Amino acid sequence: MKHLFLIISLMLAGAAAVSAQLPFERLKREKADLEKIQKEITDRSSKYFYPALMKEYLSNDTTMTLDKYRRLYLGYMFQEDYDPYRPSPAPEMNSNLYHTTNPTGAQCEEIIANARTALANNPFDLRQMSAMITALDILGQKDLAKIWQYKLNHLLMTIVSTGTGEDEERAWYIIEPQHEYVLLNMMGYQVTNHLFYDPSYEYLTVVDVASEKKGGFYFNLEPLLQEHYRKFPDEL
């Protein structure tokens, strides 16, 4: 969590623009059918076969559709290398680097290098992805920034498509706890607190940065925790 807040100042500069680009209100909201997704991504004849989805994603294909992103993102929980609490191999960054509003070219290069290291280990490290997009944009690497922005946008839309976040029944599904904070920051909110409700829901209170209106959103951690404890039963 500490590392997340080190990049918030860098992310907020583009958060409002990102939020405006994302058609959250027009998204079809559908609770994730994880049993169906697991069958689809393990079927070699399916267009959602997981190795093919990951290959398409890693090739930076900007024609990859949201239905594929849903299977890619949620299906990651069923992969053997999945660990929602896996530490990032990227070295800890100097807090001054992330708090600066006008990073230098050298600082941007360092941010990008750290992000690439992290994303090679975890292709869904959204906080590193967000920081890298901003750094690429500052360096004038607009085309590459747009590619990564497409990927980030579709991952965020995938999360939002799983519900409304208004209550436990319509809670958003995530595959990593950090994604709660990245999503809400990109939507223009500042997280003020988080509360855990049995059996597996988290409620994050927020303040709208623009209007200062207070509110909150629910996230469903059940599949995330089930997979984690299945692989690491000693942590129960």
Query: What's the pLDDT tens digit per position in 11-67?
Result: 444 444 444 457 777 889 999 999 999 999 999 999 999 999 999 999 999 999 999
- pLDDT given for residue 21 in this prediction: 57
Give buried/exposed letters for 33-59 (b at 16+ CB in 10 A, else e).
ebeebbebbeeeeeebbbeebbebbee
At position 115, the amino acid (one-letter code) is A
- What is the SS3 assignment for 189? strand
> DSSP letters along 37-100, please?
HHHHHT-TTSTT-HHHHHHHHHTT-TT--HHHHHHHHHHGGGSTT--TTPPP-SPPPPHHHHH-
- pLDDT given for residue 90 in this prediction: 66
Which strand (E) or helix (H) includes residue 148?
A: helix 142-160
Using a cut of 0.95, tell me whether the model's pTM lies above it: no
Q: For residues 62 and 150, is the Cβ–Cβ distance under 8 A? A: yes
pLDDT tens digit sequence for 141-186: 999 999 999 999 999 999 999 999 999 999 999 999 999 999 999 9
Q: What whole-number distance in Å separates Cα of residue 30 and Cα of residue 62?
A: 23
Map tokens 């294909």 to a residue. Answer: 61
Q: What whole-number distance in Å separates Cα of residue 20 and Cα of residue 187?
A: 9
Q: What whole-number distance in Å separates Cα of residue 183 and Cα of residue 156?
A: 6
Q: What does DSSP assign to residue 32? A: -
Please name the residues in contact with 226: beta carbons below 8 A apart, sequence gap of 6 or more.
none
Q: What whole-number distance in Å separates Cα of residue 179 and Cα of residue 161?
A: 14
- What is the SS3 assignment for 127? helix
pLDDT tens digit sequence for 1-20: 333 333 444 444 444 444 44
Structure tokens at 119: 């994303």
